[in-house]
Each structure stands twice: as structure tokens, then as C-alpha cells.
Structure 1
Amino acid sequence: MKHSDHVHAVAQHMSAAASSLVAASWRRCLTVHGLSPEEGRSPLRLSQQEFRAAREKSGYLIEEAQGELDRLFLTVGKAGCCLLLTDENGVALERRGASGDDRDFRELGLWSGTVWSEASVGTNGIGTAIADERAVVIQRDQHFLSCNTGLSCATAPIRDHLGRVAAAIDISTCRDDAGEMAVLLLSQAVRDAAARIEANLFRRAFSGARILLVQADGKSSPALLAIDRDDLVLGATRAARLQLNLDDRRIAGGVPAADLLHEGPAGQGEDLLDAERAALRRVLSRSNGNVSLAADTLGISRATLYRKMKKLSVN
């Protein structure tokens, strides 16, 4: 059976679309985007002005991702792989590839300024990862278009500091000997890189805050909280939101990190004592244990400071 016939046959069955990521994507391509698998489509290509505007809009993303792209390419570049960083619309903003492979990848459209959304080229690693908001592997004949069945792709979405999909990072290869195990290894590498970029974006967004790592078993994405000086949560990554049942409303309302992490004391009075004890210890630490200097800093007498130290069990 021809690839196009197979796509049509599978996509027409609702049960297949309900149980398979690829079948669901094929169905979207046919019914939502109006594509046909036998089309010889190339990805849309932005004009120079449009591409420049897309890069300017995502300048912060490109800056935070550069190091990870370079490190990842050092690992996979010699294996005949192409590396792309896209925005949330599938626009390829940054590319890494060996010069010897440039001609092949350029002909396939794996190049800066091209659009790899599902609406542009059907089921593919980038477009489907963005549409489904999860890491995907799309191998050869899992692509929607027959002209793309020589490709194997491993892609992971990248979320911003609010937990929204803001980008995708993709490794693609057109090597015939790219087996399932090799592509799975590429998938793990790309998910790890996406997680590090996501953490970079979160720390950038909350550069003045304290960042806490939340224990989140089984999560490949970073579970991070941004905390202000009063222990209130300023922000949380997607993984932390899921782990702690957080949303924008709860964060905006002000929730203590200690309560979320079940680290709070038994009563409100103890909260105040702990806060006073912590503040006193900080002042003493900054004065290198010099009680006179600490008392001057606090604007109280040495005798008062000694009484507070005794009351709060600060030595």
C-alpha cells in the first residue's frame, strides 16, 4: 500500500486517532489543515523581514538557548544530524548542521526561516510536538507527507516561565541507518537540552528571586519555584505547577512556599518567631558575630539584643 493510501485509511478511523499520537496528527492534517499526503509541499519560508521580526521577538530565547544548541551539536553533529530551534509557531530561528550535509537539509527545508508547523508540512517532529505540547519521535513513514518519509525527527517543546509552550528543539536525520534505538537516544538528548533551556528561561524571568528545586519524580522538565524574600511564590515551571497543584490564580493570590512544600511550623506564632530568629541570625552573620555591630545595625542596645538572642535560642 502506498504511503498516502495508508495515511487516508488510518486517519479516517476515529479509534486510531484516539489511541495514536501519529494517527491523531494525520487526522488533523486532513480535516483541520486541509492537506493531502501526496502533495509535494515544502515548508513555508519567511521573507527576510518576517524572519528578522521573528528572531527579534524571540531574542531572549535564542540567547538562553545558544549554549545548549552548541553543546548538543557537538554530540550529534557528526552523526549526520541537523539541529533546529523554533519559536512557538514552528519558525526555525537557529540551525546547526555540518557543512557537508547542508545541501541535503536545505533541499528538505530544514533551514533557518522555514516554518515546520503541522499546517505547513503536516505531521513532523516540530509541528506535532508543539500541537500536542509534549516530546515526540516521528520516524520516516510516520510523517504525513510522502515527500518527508526519508526523515526521522526527535523533538521536545520548551516552555516559558508561565508554563506555556514557547519554542521547540529538534534533531532530524535523513540517514537510512537511523534505527529506532538511535532515534530514542536522540530523543533523550533533545529532552534534556529542552529542560535546561526551560530552566534558563525561568531563572531569567525571575532573576531577583530565590529559586527552589521541587522533588517531582518521573518529570524530565525542571520543577522550579521562584520565591520572594517573604517566602511567597512568584512563579513556577509547568512541572512544579503540576506537582503542587498551582495555577496563575493561586500564584497571584500569594501562597507561601513552606505551605506548598509542607515545611511550615505548627502555628502562626511560631511563624513569627522563626522569621525573627532568621532575621537575627542573618544580621549576626553579616557582622561576623560582633554583637555590638549587630546591635548598631538593628538600632537597639546590646542588652536588648542579648535578651532577644536568649529568647530565640540564638547563640
Structure 2
Amino acid sequence: MAASWRRSLDHHGLDPGQRQGVQRITETALGERRLLSETLLRIALPKLDALYQLVGSSGCGVLLTDADGVVLDMRVAAGDRGIFEHWGLAPGADWSEASEGTNGIGTCITETRRVIIHRDEHFHARNTAMSCMDAPIFGPEGELIGALDVSSARADQTEAFNRLIEAMVAQTARQIEIDSFRASFPKARFIVADGDGGDAAMLLAVDPNDIVLGATRSARRAFGLKPSGALKPLPASDLFGREDGPTGFEKAERAAVMRALSRADGNVSEAARMLGVGRATLYRRMKRLAIGESTADLSRS
């Protein structure tokens, strides 16, 4: 957290001992932000409910923010609401690093990574009674669109328990990403790529011709694509190297083409119709996958 503390002091000019409460935007401004985040809220709120069911009984609250660190919505037990309000953990509160210094929401957003800020790791002394576990949420074009936070009101919250909650927060954030990504490409087919991190949302959206339409942030990083923004269309096969033989994707694609050709008794036009692609497109796929039209070729496994 050293880098975050330096930013809080040197870049934002904050005083760790200042007692003024958390800044809040107006109800009108909050309504405008919620409208801008309408898709995120629609997808995320049921998942906030599910996460709260897991952690709410232990004195934790679940918060969703936009990319600026402003709280859009939250779930908290009625008995804990007073202390959360006192801390400034409420819709409309600004938890950016520029406003609050080192804290779960703001530092997660600034560093675009999951974080745990435990008690006295917070920059402002008035925030050191809480523990915060956060994960960033990235949009369909790899852009940061918000953060998911679980904050604890318990004085006896342990670091081990924090790590357990952090894993649940990260998993929920990735599911929000996946559902947001799928909703943005309603007519696409999705390829799920293997990732190094268990919580990574690595998906590609492709059209009927296997042209890549979009990729999640983790998939962009894995395949060397630009980190955010619309992608230039490119064939999915260009992302999968052949140095070590056919990839799992290519094997699956070849199997699908072979099944269609078999059912069509080798008639390429009929097989193309079954696959929902043009005849010329299927011929290009067959050439790329080394599938010939002869009976001998069609019988190859």
C-alpha cells in the first residue's frame, strides 16, 4: 500500500488526520450516474443480493460503485446500516483515492486490481475501524466500469477471513463481467479460453464466420490485443498458434464441419446450410482445417 499512501500524500495532498466526513454527491447527480450505469446495475444487482446472502450475517455490507468510485447501490443489514452511514458507506458517497486516500474502493480502481485494505492500512485515521475487500469490474470493451466492495463492521475481522471474502468478491465481479460481455454480443458465439488465474473472465465473441467481434480484458491480455476499445475484426484462427499442432478450438471446429459434411453426404452446399454459413465460407474453413471433399478425406478423424 506504500504507493497508494504516496499518491494520497503527494499527488492528492490529503491529510490522514482530517476529520471531515466522506464527500457525497447530490441525489440528482446520483440518479444521473445510475442511469449511465443502467446496464451494469441490471446485471449486477442480483449478484449483489447473492453475495450479501453469504456475507451479510457476519456484519459485512456489499457495495457497487461506478468507475469513479461513487457508490451506486449497497446491501447491508438493518442493524449495521447506522454504522455504515456513519462511515460514509452509502449510495452517493465518493470513495475515490483522490477523495479518501488509500481505501478498498479507490485503490482498487486506481490500480485496476483486487485489493484488501485492512483497518489501519486505510489512509484516513477515521477509516481504520473497517476492512474492505474489492475487485474491479471491466466492461465489454475492456474498460473499467466499476468496483465491487465488501466492507466489514466487525472489530474482530481477521485477515484470513478477509482473504476468503476477497475470493468471493473476485468471483462475483468476474461473473458480472461475463454476463455484461455476453449481453453486449447477443448474436455471437462465445469461445472460452483457458486462463492462468481462476477468476479470469477470458471470452471471445465471434460471428458466424468466426471473425472476432470482442474480447474480455483478460482475453485481450492473453492474446496480445489492445487493452480496451473496439477491436479490429480478425479471424479467430489468427489468435490460435499452430506450432504445436491443432488447438482445442480448431479440433472442435473441425469436428463440427466433419459432422455437417457427414450428415450432408459430402454435399458442401447442404453442409454450409446446416452450419448457417455461406458455401464459400465453408470452403475456406475446409481449406484451413485441411478437410478435402473426397470420401477418404471425409472419413478422417
TM-score range, shorter chain: 0.7 to 0.9
Alignment of 1:168-207 (within 5 A): 168-207=147-186
Give the 3-state SS of the residue equivalent to 1:183 in structure 2: helix
**What are the Cα deviations for residues 117-164 of structure 1, in whole angstroms up to 9, with x where unaligned?**
011111100000000000000000000000000010000000011112
Alignment of 1:74-113 (within 5 A): 74-113=53-92
Aligned to 1:8: none
In 1, the alpha carbon distance for the partners of 2:89 and 2:195 equals 35
Alignment of 1:1-315 (within 5 A): 22-247=1-226, 252-262=231-241, 278=257, 281=260, 284=263, 310=295, 313=298
In 1, the alpha carbon distance for the partners of 2:61 and 2:122 equals 17
2:109 counterpart letter in structure 1: I
Give the 3-state SS of the residue equivalent to 2:213 in structure 1: strand
Give the 3-state SS of the residue equivalent to 1:212 in structure 2: strand
Check conservation: 1:82, 1:95, Cα contact below 8 A.
yes
Check conservation: 2:141, 2:216, Cα contact below 8 A.
yes
**What are the Cα deviations for residues 165-193 of structure 1, in whole angstroms up to 9, with x where unaligned?**
11000000121110110111111110010
Shift of 1:311: 8.0
Pick closer, same or farther for the CA change 1:143–1:59 going to 2, 3 Å: same
**What are the Cα deviations for residues 188-223 of structure 1, in whole angstroms up to 9, with x where unaligned?**
110010010011111111111111110112252211
Shift of 1:39: 0.3
**1 or 2, which has the higher helix percentage?**
1
Give the 3-state SS of the residue equivalent to 2:182 in structure 1: helix
| Structure 2 unpaired stretches of 5+ | 275-292
Percent identity over the alignment is: 38
2:235 counterpart letter in structure 1: P
TM-score (norm. length: structure 1): 0.78
In 2, the alpha carbon distance for the partners of 1:190 and 1:239 equals 17
Check conservation: 2:262, 2:298, Cα contact below 8 A.
no
1:199 counterpart letter in structure 2: I
Pick closer, same or farther for the CA change 1:250–1:81 going to 2, 3 Å: closer
In 2, the alpha carbon distance for the partners of 1:250 and 1:57 equals 18
Check conservation: 2:137, 2:144, Cα contact below 8 A.
yes
In 2, the alpha carbon distance for the partners of 1:259 and 1:215 equals 17
In 1, the alpha carbon distance for the partners of 2:73 and 2:142 equals 22
Name the count of aligned residue pairs: 275
1:170 counterpart letter in structure 2: D
Pick closer, same or farther for the CA change 1:53–1:249 going to 2, 3 Å: closer
Check conservation: 1:219, 1:239, Cα contact below 8 A.
no
Shift of 1:230: 1.0
4+ long deviations beyond 6 Å: 248-251
2:202 counterpart letter in structure 1: A
Pick closer, same or farther for the CA change 1:54–1:250 going to 2, 3 Å: closer
**What are the Cα deviations for residues 227-270 of structure 1, in whole angstroms up to 9, with x where unaligned?**
11111111111111111112279974432212312369x9xxxx
In 2, the alpha carbon distance for the partners of 1:235 and 1:137 equals 31
| Structure 1 unpaired stretches of 5+ | 1-21, 299-307
Give the 3-state SS of the residue equivalent to 2:61 in structure 1: strand
Bigger radius of gyration: 1
Check conservation: 2:141, 2:229, Cα contact below 8 A.
no
Give the 3-state SS of the residue equivalent to 1:153 in structure 2: strand
